[in-house]
Structure 1
């Protein structure tokens, strides 16, 4: 089984799932966050003996996410009757951002916030079971990878070799006007490959820096936004990054690359 996990309105994920089916991945199951949050039945097991061995080997180990990835299993029954078993999953495209709780009712905002945190923790543990065969592994700071501020992305981009704009940090929370800014171009990094380029253009020279940025961010899949700047190297400057790029930007070549990437993933330890 192959999984595409996404939010309900993620059109790019639906497009990717359809394209992977056309490339004969079978079966490809698309599961949105709302469906995942309304499981009819769930079983989640951690192999206690393996965890005890890990604890004896490293008494300072904090457990949690690391232990789940190595010794945990889950089985979920979805509202539509589908059954997801972690051991049956061969590869995952992970584009989840949060686990919704809007279908539940709570007495106060504080209760709602608590339930959201608990639901995210449970989904994070499920995802960590699949991390070895997952495109964009979960993080304690984000279900599909570490969420970062614009300043954090800028620091990583500069270290990767991309031209960046000076940033002014302020306590003024008002949004700066976007009018007048040059249009951006998005390149999509998947592993060691960069999609969205047209052969022979100046931006081709930015591929190594984009790959380096994705690696430093711990992301298999990353969208890198660029804006034109004739004074910058290769004529473009870093304008932001996203763990949820629009995969449709690169068309069929993106689907071919995603298919190849998934089928090359190592088998999940059992």
Structure 2
């Protein structure tokens, strides 16, 4: 099998800009009277496409913890065992972290009857194995579309003895409870933020941070689901602006982290993509 690479929360008001309309949402999530109600982009399931799937780890899915997306403990952070590592082609340099897929086994005697599908979230990368042929061991070599699933997820669609199976897959909306979560790392001069619990398309294309004493600061993509800003932001409540990679929708969450925020903590907004 290919090997894998490896709340505190506050609620505040925010503005949501959609096209030329602005929807003002208060801190309990209700639209204020007297403003326009814009229709926000909603991510819809995509078409089915062919790929292959393997699995890594055992029934406990302990081998899936961590991973290239940086979600850490997948149980604690809400991803559970229904996860997959993506081949390089699908991983898209980390911009596919958090995306969700329906996968079903096809054209194999190892498929369960009726070809049931399971839904997984991308949390890791399945790196190329250049020592092996792409059709004989190098399953995740470009340009192959491949899912190296957790064993519990794989066993929902096929018998594990199959090893590798042909599948059909499609992108589907990520269903999440609550707002986007921001896990802080770094130091006083470098803020590294892991973005988790992203609904809708599940992905993030770009991100900005704003302190109470700064303007909007563009954050660069570090790797996986992390974004970074080289700035001194201590002692200020922090707001974040994010754009979805899939729908291009931009949302803004004001004052997500309080002025006494700390590295090592996770803060949750009261806003999410659809």
More strand by share: 2
More helix by share: 1
Does the alignment reach a TM-score above 0.5?
A: no
**Higher RCO (CA 8 Å, separation ≥ 6 residues):** 2
Query: Normalised by the size of structure 1, how large is the TM-score?
Result: 0.24
Query: Normalised by the size of structure 2, how large is the TM-score?
Result: 0.24
